[in-house]
Amino acid sequence: MNLPNNQTGQALPADSIDPRLLSLAMAFVPVQHFETTYEPTLAFDRGTIFPSLDKPFLGEEAVPR
C-alpha cells in the first residue's frame, strides 16, 4: 500500500516508514565527572581539556583493508 507524502504529493514506497511517525532526534549524554585537565597548549592541540573526551578521528586508519 502506498501512502501519500503531503510535502511532495508523491506516494511513499510500500516498504518505507512514514517520516511523520519518526522522532526528529534522540540524544544520550552520559554524566561526566570533573577530572584532571590537559595543560592549555595541549588542550588546544587536542580540541578538548578533558583526556577522557580525547577521541581522535582515525578516518581511513580505522577501516581494515
Model confidence pLDDT, tens digit, residues 18-48: 878 888 888 888 888 899 999 999 999 999 9
So what's the pLDDT on residue 6?
47
So what's the pLDDT on residue 4?
52
| Contact assessment for residue 2 and residue 13, using Cβ atoms and an 8 Å cutoff | yes
Highest mean pLDDT among 12-16, 30-34, 46-50, 55-59: 46-50
Q: State yes or no: pLDDT of 5 exceeds 60.
A: no
pTM: 0.44
All cell numbers assigned to 26: 534522540
CA–CA dist 48, 38 (Å, integer) = 8
